[in-house]
Amino acid sequence: MPVELSDAELILLWQNGADNAFEVLYKRYAVRLLSTALNKTRSRELSEEIIQETFLRLFTRKKTANQIINLSSFLYTTVKHKIIDHYRREKLLKKYEEHSFHHFTETDNSTLQAIESRELEQQLAFQIEKLPLKCRSVFNLSRNHHLSNKEIASELHISENTVEQHMRKALRLLRSYFFGHTERIIIFCLFVLSLF
């Protein structure tokens, strides 16, 4: 397919069944969008996720995509908002973590006993089991067996940097799950995570 076709022409072809037209649009913008995201986040993994989510948003709007007046503007604006959303969530999580520290250091045992910890711990354990295999292995060796990053790297035959990446990913996935629940669950689970 000729890459010199305009965005509007490619969108119409895509809507009419030419799936490779979407691939052309992806190749046209993906690298530039990734560069923009990397410049703002300094994280390749996060930036790649944002780009995937951006094109997924476009893909889900296939039927109305021809109504997008400026595709470039649409894609860059989507990336911008997703980066803002990410930092907003990070800021909120930080507030929850700070609150959980003060809450659980100032609350007496009778209040702690009122929390349905068993059910929440089960939810946490269930989410840990859903982690990707490498992430789960690294997480368990670190949090349950108290191994250092160097020891985990030796055990799994990977680099310490890879261990750190898996840990960050595991914590991000766990926190993102509990972020969708009530504040009490978030606070408790962040507290539990800090105790491992």
Q: Are 157 and 137 in contact (CB under 8 A)?
A: no
Please work out, in degrees rounded to the nearest 5, the angle formed at the alpha carbon of residue 6 by the alpha carbons of 79 and 10: 80
More confident residue, 134 or 72: 72
| Contact predicate 71/11, CB 8 Å | yes
The pLDDT value recorded for residue 64 is 94
Residue 7 has pLDDT above 60, yes or no: yes
- 162: nearest Cα among 173, 150, 174, 177: 150
In this structure, are residues 13 and 62 in contact, taking their beta carbons and an 8 Å threshold?
Answer: no
- Assigned token pair, 131: 């982690």
CATH class given for the domain over 7-85: mainly alpha
On the 0-12 / 13-18 / 19+ scale of CB atoms within 10 A, 29 is: buried
User: Per residue in 37-52, pLDDT tens?
Assistant: 999 988 899 999 999 9
Q: Which of the four pLDDT bands, split at 50, 70 and 90, describes residue 28?
A: very high
Torsion of CA 139, 140, 142, 143, to 10 degrees: 100
Q: What pLDDT, in 10s, does the model give residues 74-109?
A: 999 999 999 998 888 877 666 655 655 555 554 444
Structural domain boundaries in the chain: 7-85, 110-195
Q: Which CATH number fits domain 110-195: 1.20.1260.10, 1.10.10.10, 3.40.50.2000, 1.10.4080.10?
A: 1.10.10.10
Residue 148 CB: number of other CB atoms within 10 A?
12
pTM of the model: 0.50
Can you tell me the distance from the alpha carbon of 141 to that of 19, in angstroms, rounded to the nearest whole number? 44
2 vs 36, higher pLDDT:
36
